[in-house]
Structure 1
């Protein structure tokens, strides 16, 4: 009894979704305690850098930095790009969420793309060392997303999940709690944002920041371009360098986003072509489940269904599927044992 008391006192279970776009933290028994952009602003102080802001505050600063301030997105393409900045961000998140508490050392489950290299996987472990955890378990994000989408991955029936994040798209076929086959491409929502930035500059003579484009994407990007939706875009004229506005329609930008969208769909088609025939029948019956924040791109599911000939559905709260699945693993430890087996 005394031993159990000290074990409960000395540990805290934490699930982390360390994404290119957002970082989310779930604490067992408390729920979601943090969900903000994966952004950090640093200020130069002599030979050192101090944290000026993280998350939403840093996102608001992006593109407006005064001299001596740098705003960083430390994750790119679904993996850690700047290790020290990632550590600093996680350390600040730990302080805000009170992960480090009296006599408590967090046990951590953290999501990572299935397709990352051993070096990239070690970087994830290294980044979480700032949390001083006695136990860090890496969970494949597509598996976590499948669990978060309420799929029973323990069945011998195949399920196909396409996780479309900001920096990476992963398509996997899951059966008996494991990944049977996978395809991935380092293209996601960020590539669509970048394509729009280039389009505005080259075709509309307007310099627009990434933060502005991110805010415009939900109402502007329609991969079919069938419906005429117009939005007002604010930026800097490339010739006069004065503030200007333009009326841009969804049909205008359709071709601009066609490149990254087509690359995502080609990856899904390649996945279907390489899936073992014995599992293909299950996929025809069950279809494809889309997860990730970029799965909400207007008419993406319809375009993918027309291109692949397989039913496509978007998971409920697709952007939060990975964290929801990882948090379920904390609450239901048998899920971890099944996935890790």
Structure 2
């Protein structure tokens, strides 16, 4: 099975079945006993709504493990949920990790998966998995550029001959967009909203380029002055301005990666364009903006959310390809 262990969502791909599970990477635990109460969708409903003795945590931060034990419990839950209660079956697992991962972070992912019930664990770099999932010809001697905008990290990479030539991992992505919206409403209207509301605003009226008529969205939150709940209307123009800084950082990452690209590959990318994957690629007008700033064609792959998971799955189906693209465990003597 292939797992896309993301900051916002975890996806599981099972050989022969495709992507079988898409759940938020959230775990609710009881703070006094440390017992896991809920994982995934059920736990996400609890964010910001829990009583004192329950905490809803997102164990992944910036694409890497922030809370080891909770991640392990989460992986265990996802693995057992997909293979059912047949405890004798221990799957071979491929997990995607961000490019800038340190050896310690890699080992944490390996350990968490092994203790979560995997037989063997292979790691693959996220942009590589996204490129394979998007159907790019990664093994040919031509340059392919992939931009994977997730929850915690934006991975930009140029891939050729089955390897990453240049890569840039920017720790600015979907979560930062939500944060920007929260801060904007706090500053402008003294209105406090939660992460989930911010995410709803982003998906409904958020955009990277202003086009079309102005849209409005009703936001409910807590007024910081009176302390009472209140409703306001925000316009798509304001949200666009709030998001501009985050979008700028993502663009910067893409430009840095292009600057480091060898000229032959840069010429290939000029022809083939940049492919976008990940949930952040769904932000309205982001592809047009990147195209305008880099003067290159930009495409969003189909089902960008599932690209990385599909890639891990494809890698599993051809083990010989797997041997070429996985990250070998570094020997620690």
For the criterion TM > 0.5, the same-fold answer is yes
| 1:33 match: secondary structure | strand
Q: 2:236 aligns with which of 250, 265, 276?
A: 250
Mapped partners of 1:98, 1:339: distance in 2: 25
Q: 2:14 aligns with which of 27, 30, 46?
A: 27
Q: 1:201 aligns with which of 170, 182, 186?
A: 186
Mapped partners of 2:241, 2:57: distance in 1: 29
| 1:224 match: secondary structure | coil
Q: Which residue of 1 aligns with 2:29?
A: 42
8 Å Cα contact 1:40/1:53 also seen in 2: yes
Mapped partners of 2:233, 2:294: distance in 1: 34
Q: Which residue of 1 aligns with 2:301?
A: 315
Mapped partners of 1:65, 1:27: distance in 2: 33
Q: 1:213 aligns with which of 192, 198, 204?
A: 198
Q: Which residue of 2 aligns with 1:68?
A: 53
* Residues 293-312 of structure 1 aligned to structure 2 (within 5 Å): 293-312=279-298
2:93 corresponds to 1:96: no
Which TM-score applies when normalising by structure 2?
Answer: 0.94
CA drift of 1:102 comes to 4.7
CA drift of 1:35 comes to 1.1
Mapped partners of 2:282, 2:291: distance in 1: 14
Q: Which residue of 2 aligns with 1:137?
A: 122
Residues 106 and 205 (structure 1 numbering): CA distance in 2 closer, same or farther, change over 3 Å?
A: same
8 Å Cα contact 1:193/1:210 also seen in 2: yes
Aligned length: 326
CA drift of 1:100 comes to 6.0
Long gaps (5+) in structure 2: 328-333
Long gaps (5+) in structure 1: 1-13
- CA offsets per residue over residues 28-86 of structure 1, 9 Å max, x none? 234333211000011134xx211111111111111000110101000011111111111
Q: Which residue of 2 aligns with 1:52?
A: 37
| 1:255 match: secondary structure | helix
Structure 1 range deviating more: 262-271 or 220-229: 220-229
- CA offsets per residue over residues 223-243 of structure 1, 9 Å max, x none? 122331111111111111111
Q: Which residue of 1 aligns with 2:331?
A: none
**Largest Rg, 1 or 2:** 1
2:262 corresponds to 1:276: yes
Q: Which residue of 2 aligns with 1:325?
A: 311
